[in-house]
Copies of this chain bind each other. A is one copy, B any other.
Amino acid sequence: MSHYDDSALPRAFRDALTQALGNKVSFALGAREQAAQEVTHHKPHLPDAVVFAHEHDDVQITAELCNQHRVPIVARAQGSSLEGHIAALKGGVSLDMNAMNAILEVNQSDLDCRVQAGVTRKQLNEHLRDTGLFFPIDPGADASIGGMTATRASGTNAVRYGTMRENVLGLTAIMADGSLLRCGTRARKSAAGYDLTRLLVGSEGTLGLITEIQLRLYGIPEAMSAAICAFETIEGAVEAVQLIMQMGIPVARVEFLDAMQIKAVNAYSKTSYAEEPHLFFEFHGTNTGVEEQAAMVGEICNDFGGKGFQWAKDAETRNKLWRARHDAYWASLALRPGCKGLATDICVPISRLSESLLATRKATTELGLVATMAGHVGDGNYHLLILLDENKPEEWEAAAKLNQRMVEQAIDLGGTCTGEHGVGYGKKKYLLKEMPTALPVMASIKRALDPNNILNPGKIFDLD
C-alpha cells in the first residue's frame, strides 16, 4: 500500500503487524501526528505506526513482533506526562492504550480494584461514586491509571494517601519479548520475593507494558473540609507546614501558592485572594477529627504570620478552592497570553524547603523570567511554571539555566530532581547527577529485561 512507501519500518514487520491486528494498526500521518501530541514544550517525535490496543493480546502481539524486528514501542494513553515520556525518539510503534479502559473488578470489602491501563482516574472515581469508596491519587490532569503507574504519579493528596508507589498492589505487564508478568497480590503486604510491582511503577514504559493494575481504594471520609490562609512571607508559610508535618497532623492536602500564582488564579478563576503567598488545606476524618485538625492548623498558621485563616466546611467553598488550585496551570499560562509553560518539579527534605523556594524566587528575578510557584509542600515538592515566549530563544536558555540551578540545589539539599513528573528524556542528565552509582544498576536491569532496547528507548538513561 502506498502509505507504506516512505516508512522507516521493515516491510515484513508492517505486513505481519497488519495481518495480526487489522484495522487496529495505522501508518497514516494523521494518526502518527496525533500519537505524538504533547502538552508540554518538549518537541513532538513522530512514531512510524500507531497500534490501538483493545485487548491484552494486541499488546502481546505488538511486543512479540516489535522484539522480533527490533522496532521500538512507546506506550501512551492521555499523553499528559511532562518530560517527553511519549516521544518516539527512535520512531517505531506508538501503543495507544486508551481503548483498554475496562474497570475489571471492585472489591468493596477489601478496598481494592483492578482496572485496565487506559482507565482514567476520573473515570474510576465516577465508577466508584455509589460505593462509598474513592481513589485518591490526583496528579491534576485526568491521566490514565496505566500512565500514572508507569510514571509513579502523585499530586495534591500524596501527603496523606501516598503516591502510586504506595497504592499499586500488583499489576500485569507484557515484557519486551511478549511474555506475561503478573506480580503482586491482593494482600495488603507481602514479603514474597523481589518487589517487581515497585520496579515497574515508575519505569516509564522501559521495562514492560503495563496492561492491568490492582489498586488500593479508600472509604470516603465522614467529613471533609478545607481552609485557606495568606502569609506575609514564603518562610512563614513553609515553617507552618513544617510544624504541621512534625506534629503528625494528618492533613489530606496542603498546597502552597506564591503571590504570582495567586495573582494568576484571581484573574483566571475570578477569585479575590490577597496577592500574597497562600496555603490551601484539606482535612479528612470524622467530624470531630476534622474540626480538631483545622483548629490546630489554624493556630500554627497564626503563629507563623498567617493572616485570617479561613475554614470552610461546606462542599461548595471547598470545591471552588480546589478548582482554583487545579486551574493554576491554565491560570499561569493566561498571565502571558500565547506563551508556553516550562514546568519544573523538585522535592527536598522539608527543613530545606524554605531555602529552596527563596533561592528559586531570587534566581527567577535575576534571570528576568516570569513564573508562578505552586507545590505539594507537605511532601517538600513544588513546581515553578516558567512562562516563555516561543520566539525568544534567550528566554528558553534562561529557563533551562534556572531549571538546572533548582535541580542542582535540590540534589545538594538531599532532595531529588523530580518529585512526581518523572525523568522521560527531559531529565536524564539530572538523574545521572542525582544517583551516579544507581545508573549502571538501572542499565543492567534494563539490558536484562529488554536486551534489544525496544521499550521506550532513550528514556530515563542512555544505554552506552
A379 and B419 contact, CB distance less than 8 A: no
Which of A93-101, A257-265, A336-344, A444-452 forms part of the interface with chain B? A444-452
B195 and A199 contact, CB distance less than 8 A: yes
Q: Is A188 an interface residue (CB 8 A)?
A: yes
A-B contact pairs, 20 of them (CB 8 A): A152-B195, A181-B441, A182-B437, A183-B435, A187-B348, A187-B410, A189-B347, A189-B379, A189-B419, A190-B347, A190-B416, A192-B418, A192-B422, A192-B423, A192-B427, A193-B202, A193-B431, A194-B445, A194-B460, A289-B289
- CB closest chain-B residue, reference A284: B248
B434 and A444 contact, CB distance less than 8 A: no
Q: Is A442 an interface residue (CB 8 A)?
A: yes
* Total identical chains: 2
Report the 7 A-B pairs with minimum CB-CB distance, sorted nearest first: A198-B198, A448-B448, A186-B414, A190-B416, A109-B351, A187-B347, A110-B349
Q: Is A124 an interface residue (CB 8 A)?
A: no
B189 and A381 contact, CB distance less than 8 A: yes
B449 and A187 contact, CB distance less than 8 A: no
Q: Which of B187, B416, B418, B449 contacts A415 (CB 8 A)?
A: B187
Convert A309-347 into 0s and 1s, putting 1 for each residue whose CB lies closer than 8 angstroms to a CB of B: 000000000000000000000000000000000000101
Q: Which of B154, B190, B415, B460 contacts A419 (CB 8 A)?
A: B190
Query: Which of A182, A247, A410, A448 lies at the interface centre, i.e. has the most chain B CB atoms within 10 A of its CB?
Result: A448
- CB closest chain-B residue, reference A166: B166
- CB closest chain-B residue, reference A201: B195
A interface list, Cβ under 8 A from B: 107-112, 151-154, 158, 162-163, 165-166, 175, 179-183, 185-196, 198-199, 201-203, 207, 218-219, 221, 242, 245-248, 250, 286, 288-289, 292, 345, 347-351, 379-381, 410-411, 414-423, 427, 431, 434-435, 437-442, 444-445, 447-449, 460-461
Given A182-B435, A435-B182, do A242 and B109 touch, yes or no (CB 8 Å)? yes
A109 and B202 contact, CB distance less than 8 A: no
Known: A110-B349, A196-B442, A198-B199; 12 extra A-B contacts, CB below 8 A, are A154-B189, A162-B166, A179-B437, A182-B437, A183-B438, A187-B419, A188-B349, A189-B381, A189-B419, A192-B431, A193-B423, A193-B460
B349 and A107 contact, CB distance less than 8 A: yes
B449 and A191 contact, CB distance less than 8 A: no
B416 and A187 contact, CB distance less than 8 A: yes
A192 and B107 contact, CB distance less than 8 A: no
Q: A250 to chain B: which residues have CB within 8 Å?
A: 250
- CB closest chain-B residue, reference A163: B189
